Structure 1
């Protein structure tokens, strides 16, 4: 199990979480179906390749609890074990800030967003060839088909890997696919970055504004 906190700290086969606080996991597999299973929490959730699944729980007792994969996943299935460590919130914050971190997921996502030149089309001033992303997460999006969808994790993931599947109204299907060019980890980083963006500058699904024209002299 590879896990990463929003603050950037990574773990392998261990998950540290604070006591009496709701914890939400967004999960994906890069190979076959797995199942995140913590018997003490009565939590079991499939982890599926090609899509996101989520689960949440709220631990009410400190301690270390067994973590298993409850779906036979191959010859190394028996090795997919670990533990969930429930800590006092103050101790958890100390632990979170004490280990090596590569920075928040959103910061890494911003760098990836720029390195893939996403910022050349998705401009905050509404003049790009793609829709404004500021404030889009969790909002309703109007599509060319007339359908309306919510911009959640799954929608953003699909928009990166299969951008012509759900084209925003007022825009052309010009975005290339990044299927095979970006890892699941990279996708989560970009989505974390989009989630971190502030209020949008234009209504989602509105016709994009024309780029400013400069008259020749």
Structure 2
């Protein structure tokens, strides 16, 4: 008889916590519901023949009992709410040293790009014990990245970035799926996550070597698309400086202030008129339908790499 596991293997500490939460909720539900079903069975057998009920006496109320079976389950469920909420927020607060990997979902494939420029389709190689942050975008429809062994699932929505992070603690190969129906070949949109030792991951990076890092590819796009003509240090056009922009507060013409994160930079490239920086003219053209999501991610990586000090104008 073949082995049939109750659920997928655990490949991270987060997966272990999710399983503990699942088991604990199951036990709680059983403890709360078992007395009801047991008493239903007992009364069905005891009173199966029926008899005349004496309704002359007045029913006494036990206020302490009635309050206890309402308050105790509520407090127990509140504990689980706090537990689940902490797990939810944990996967959206990546540590600062996380390995940044860009993901583009497209009918019907997953495209991964590493910081040094290595690219993969439907497979993802990562080092064991290293935090990994995924920044994801969809090229067409809604997709959903699902890695059962890590107990992670995140929708990938057109027009915005979504992200999550994880740290795989066990080497091996684990399935990767799309859990959102995305078209005729949805069932084929899958692959594997390969968790490698640090040495094996370094060898894989060397074997899958590329000429340029992701930021360098973005810099090449920055020049070829004419962005340096307005945003370069030597530009005569009044446009926002990009050095040290990422992570800073940006005052808008509307009076609002936003943080220059990945989403802000993406919107500034594809929907520039939706958020005009205060003090600058409305001259930024849109690159929507000109740049792919993969190209935008390269530009975002380049802008993130710019330090606070002025750089020499690209030539």
Q: CA offset at residue 200 of structure 1?
A: 4.8
- The residue that corresponds to 1:205 in the other structure is none
TM-score calculated relative to the size of structure 2 = 0.62
Determine if the alignment matches structure 1 residue 19 to structure 2 residue 121: no
Cα contact 1:33–1:73 (8 A) shared by 2: yes
DSSP 3-state at the match of 2:283: coil
Query: Whole-Å Cα distance in 1 between the matches of residues 249 and 236 of structure 2?
Result: 21
The Cα offsets for residues 122-176 of structure 1, whole Å up to 9 and x where unpaired, read as: 1236853210000000111111122110000000000001111111111111111
Residue among 150, 174, 179 paired with 1:70: 179
Q: CA offset at residue 21 of structure 1?
A: 0.9
What is the RMSD of the two structures over their aligned residues, measured on CA atoms? Answer: 1.3
Cα contact 1:17–1:84 (8 A) shared by 2: yes
DSSP 3-state at the match of 1:94: helix
Determine if the alignment matches structure 1 residue 180 to structure 2 residue 255: no
Residue correspondence of structure 1 range 122-201 to structure 2 within 5 A: 122-124=231-233, 128-201=237-310
- The residue that corresponds to 1:94 in the other structure is 203
Residue among 188, 193, 202 paired with 1:79: 188
Query: Whole-Å Cα distance in 2 between the matches of residues 170 and 127 of structure 1?
Result: 15
DSSP 3-state at the match of 1:27: strand
Q: CA offset at residue 182 of structure 1?
A: 0.8
Cα contact 2:174–2:192 (8 A) shared by 1: yes
DSSP 3-state at the match of 1:68: strand
Query: Whole-Å Cα distance in 2 between the matches of residues 174 and 199 of structure 1?
Result: 24
Cα contact 1:33–1:71 (8 A) shared by 2: yes
DSSP 3-state at the match of 1:85: strand
Query: 5+ residue gaps in structure 1?
Result: 202-217
DSSP 3-state at the match of 1:160: helix
Cα contact 1:126–1:132 (8 A) shared by 2: no
Query: 5+ residue gaps in structure 2?
Result: 1-109, 311-315
The Cα offsets for residues 179-207 of structure 1, whole Å up to 9 and x where unpaired, read as: 11111111011111101111155xxxxxx
Structure whose alpha-carbon radius of gyration is higher? 2
| Regions of 4+ moved over 4 Å | none
Residue among 26, 32, 35 paired with 2:144: 35
- The residue that corresponds to 2:23 in the other structure is none
Residue correspondence of structure 1 range 201-212 to structure 2 within 5 A: 201=310
Q: CA offset at residue 107 of structure 1?
A: 0.8
- The residue that corresponds to 2:58 in the other structure is none
Structure 1 or 2: larger helix share?
Answer: 2
Cα contact 1:133–1:200 (8 A) shared by 2: no
Cα contact 1:24–1:57 (8 A) shared by 2: yes
Query: Whole-Å Cα distance in 1 between the matches of residues 264 and 309 of structure 2?
Result: 17
- The residue that corresponds to 1:50 in the other structure is 159
